[in-house]
Chain A
Amino acid sequence: MTVALLYSITGFLLFLMGICGLIFRSSLIRRALALNITASGIFLFIVAQAYKGESALPDPVPHGLVLTGIVIGASATALMIYLIGVLRYVSPGDNDSGEEE
């Protein structure tokens, strides 16, 4: 049970839990949370696989990927939260400024 395997499995489990959370929760904020957890799961897996042991240097490329992933995940979540806010503000049928009915 090496470090890499342990964290990879945790990451994989996080990924699956995130998907289940996404599916069984209908509220949008809960879904945003679930998506973030899924993303963290993937990143944990990547970094776990990049870990080469105490003495060896870890592989920086996955780290770079994860960094980019985190930023993208964060911006996507931010957009989602913003949309949730706007949706709550715009009541159904209110034709704010759309061009058709």
Chain B
Amino acid sequence: MIHSVLLILSWLMPLLLAATAIIAPRLTWKALVFAGFPGLAAVFLVPVGSSVEVPVLLLGTRFGLDQVGMGFLFLTTVIWILAAWHAKGYITTRRSSFGVYFLLAMSGNFGLILAQDMVGFYLFFALMSFASYGLVIHERTPEARYAGKVYIVLVIIGEVLIFSGMAGVGTLAGTTSFAQFGEDWVSQGRGALFFGALFLGFGIKAGALPLHVWLPLAHPAAPTPASAVLSGAMIKAGLIGWLRFLPIGDAALPGWGAIYIGIGALAFIAAALYGCMQANSKALLAYSSISKMGLMTMAVGVILVEPDSATVVIPCILVFATHHCFCKGALFLSVSINRNDVSPGLRRWLTTFLLLVPPLSLAGFALTSGEVAKTMMKVGLSASISVKALTGLAVLLAINSLLTAGLMFRFCWQRFKHSPHAHQPPGAATFLAWGTLVGIVIISPLLLVTFYPVTLGKSLSIGALWSSIWPVLVVSAIGAVLVNRSWLFVPRWPAGDMLFLYLLLTRLIEWFGRVSSRFATAVSVDFLRKLFIPPKAGYHFKSLLRQTESRLGMATVFGLVFIGLLTLSTYLLFEHI
């Protein structure tokens, strides 16, 4: 009984708190942190595989916790709670509205993880997407509004794509709950079409390459706790969507698998490369998230190609996701921390150490969760793909680690060199939240190992350790050489890369809309009336009518008509004898 209560309470609690914002805004703000606790409790208390049925809600929803759900729930609850804690100190203006959107997004995120049926999943997915719009636009600066507009447009497109895909899948598979999906729906009728719709729909949320344009705009614009959550937890929703909907571990879909891998690899490399050129540190982190998501897309692609590898690859994905969530969250939170806000001496050194740990971990430095995750991913993928692909993968991983190291170096350099604009020192909560998150990052290798024992042996082998250290050393060496050359031209590429293409497209649509509406008004009734009926026609028509009427009245005409009728009717009856 307790499980079902917890399962429901985890997503209901934030909703209820958001509702209280109407009556007591200050109370909601205070209780912001506690909203995530039922979720966290669910992670520890609810055994995997338990579920609860709510037939009344929507079209009969089921909440439950399976292996994938458990993994993601853990990382999501942690990052949401810490982000909430951080926001307590960080957010000063329009707290209640931020609190409401934050809680709604949190409830959406928890709900979609727990949902075991499509409709419930879609409900919470939509709730999360729309609520996070409020977070993105919280600063109300022009960049935030622009980012918000791009974000909402893509969200709507995502929603619609997911809806159509979901409708197709639901009917072809005959059921709405994930468990009973057969895998044959893809082959039926227009299964491929719906598969593609789902891929694109969740791709937008997961930042798959062609549709990632909103990420580099939204994350910098959002306040730091929001962007931490956005990048840490919400971006994973797309991944969860893929895992839930697509026939993982059932039918072999080599074609789709190849697409996934291709796009994943492209993102993996190009995003990282583009990220290095970013001046804004948050944009830089956004691009690094895109590249990391690219890796996970490749993992999903592998599962699609080799269905039976799912049991191995999924844990790797979970590990990598957890690692990425914590590091990325810590990095984003650290953006609000400034070294010289801290009194000099031991505390400043401690902060600088703590500031350095997450980048290293993300770059996959030895003994960090990044290294564990990367080796696990390498081992997991290699177990299931052909040797030739394996070498390609190794090369990719190497390049990526180099690029990520470069990213991290630039990030640290920008953090330490440029003191951010005069920003009044954040509250104590921000420091504490950030500190705990970095602590988690530090102990995460142990956590991962305990949760996923299989990783221990491999990650400690010498080869793995070396392969994790050399990229960092090489990059830091190059960086050290370049950093004090003042002549050095540091490239600054704009945040949105493919955005200008889309803008062209929207211009086109807008132009078409204007023309068609002008045409519609043109062909409207009163235009036609003016066209065909000359202005004074009414008047002439009336006078004509009156003339004929008066002429009819004349006696002679009347006589003519009278006699005419006489003859006409006799004629008519004449032949009828």
- Please give the residue numbers on chain A whose beta carbons come within 8 Å of chain B beta carbons, in ascending order: 19-20, 22-26, 31
Contacts and interface: CB of A to CB of B under 8 A. Distances in A.
B559 interface: yes
Contacts of A31: 555
Nearest to B557: A23
Chain A at the B interface: mostly helix, strand, loop or mixed? Answer: helix
A24 B563 CA distance: 13
Interface of B: 555-556, 558-560, 562-563
Contacts of B559: 19-20, 22-24
Contacts of A26: 555
A25 B562 CA distance: 15
B555 A22 contact: yes
9 smallest CB-CB distances across A and B, nearest first, come from A23-B559, A23-B555, A23-B556, A26-B555, A24-B556, A19-B559, A23-B558, A22-B559, A19-B562
Contacts of A24: 555-556, 559
14 contacts: A19-B559, A19-B562, A19-B563, A20-B559, A22-B559, A23-B555, A23-B556, A23-B558, A23-B562, A24-B555, A24-B556, A24-B559, A25-B555, A26-B555
A49 B563 CA distance: 24
Nearest to A23: B559
A24 B559 CA distance: 8
Nearest to B560: A23
A31 B563 CA distance: 17
Which of A19, A20, A22, A23 has the largest count of B CB atoms less than 10 A from its CB? A23
Given A19-B562, A24-B556, 12 more contacts: A19-B563, A20-B559, A22-B555, A22-B559, A23-B556, A23-B558, A23-B559, A23-B562, A24-B555, A24-B559, A25-B555, A31-B555
B484 to A, nearest CB: 106
Nearest to B556: A23
Nearest to A24: B556
Contacts of A19: 559, 562-563
Nearest to A20: B559
A25 B558 CA distance: 12
A5 B238 CA distance: 110
A24 B562 CA distance: 13
A26 B559 CA distance: 12
A26 B558 CA distance: 12
A53 B439 CA distance: 143
B318 to A, nearest CB: 95
B142 to A, nearest CB: 71
A33 to B, nearest CB: 14
A26 B563 CA distance: 17
Contacts of B558: 23
Contacts of A25: 555
Contacts of B556: 23-24
Nearest to A21: B559
Nearest to B559: A23
B269 to A, nearest CB: 95
Contacts of A20: 559
B541 to A, nearest CB: 27
Nearest to A25: B555
A24 B556 CA distance: 6
Contacts of A23: 555-556, 558-560, 562
A18 to B, nearest CB: 11
A24 to B, nearest CB: 6
A25 B559 CA distance: 11
A25 B563 CA distance: 16
Contacts of B560: 23
A20 B562 CA distance: 10
A25 B555 CA distance: 8
A25 B560 CA distance: 13
B188 to A, nearest CB: 81
A84 to B, nearest CB: 15
Contacts of B562: 19, 23
A64 to B, nearest CB: 28
B486 to A, nearest CB: 102
Nearest to B558: A23
A57 to B, nearest CB: 34
A31 B558 CA distance: 14
Nearest to B563: A19
